[in-house]
């Protein structure tokens, strides 16, 4: 994986962890629920971006190997990864 992309993913994950700690505190303090939900949606959105980028990087890696692997094998790898997460 490209180092710049890896650093961006790690930054997003670290930010999500910080936001999740904030949500934990909001729940402990019985904060007005809509504010908590907004934070949870932001966390979910950030993590979905991480997921998408990881899948994209994997696809690029598979396709770069396509000279040595058959297209069927590449497709199997992609489908296995995609189907692991409903």
- Residue 30 has, within 13 A of its CA and on its CB side, a CA count of 0
Cα-to-chain-centroid distance, residue 85? 12
* pTM exceeding the 0.75 threshold for the entire prediction: no
| 86 residues of the chain, pLDDT tens digit each | 889 999 999 999 999 999 999 999 999 999 889 999 999 999 999 999 899 889 878 877 776 766 565 666 776 677 777 778 75
CB 16 within 8 A of CB 46: yes
Domains and CATH numbers, the chain: 3-83 (1.20.58.1000)
Return the half-sphere exposure (C-beta side, CA atoms, 13 A cut-off) of residue 28: 6
Q: Give the span between the Cα atoms of 13 and 36, in whole angstroms.
A: 19
């Amino acid at each position: 994986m490209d180092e710049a992309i890896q650093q961006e993913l790690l930054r997003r994950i670290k930010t999500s962890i910080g936001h999740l700690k904030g949500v934990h505190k909001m729940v402990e303090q019985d904060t007005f629920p809509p504010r908590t939900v907004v934070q949870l949606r932001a966390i979910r959105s950030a993590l979905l971006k991480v997921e998408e980028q990881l899948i994209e990087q994997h696809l690029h890696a598979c396709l770069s190997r396509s000279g040595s692997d058959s297209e069927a094998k590449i497709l199997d790898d992609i489908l296995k990864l995609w189907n692991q997460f409903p």
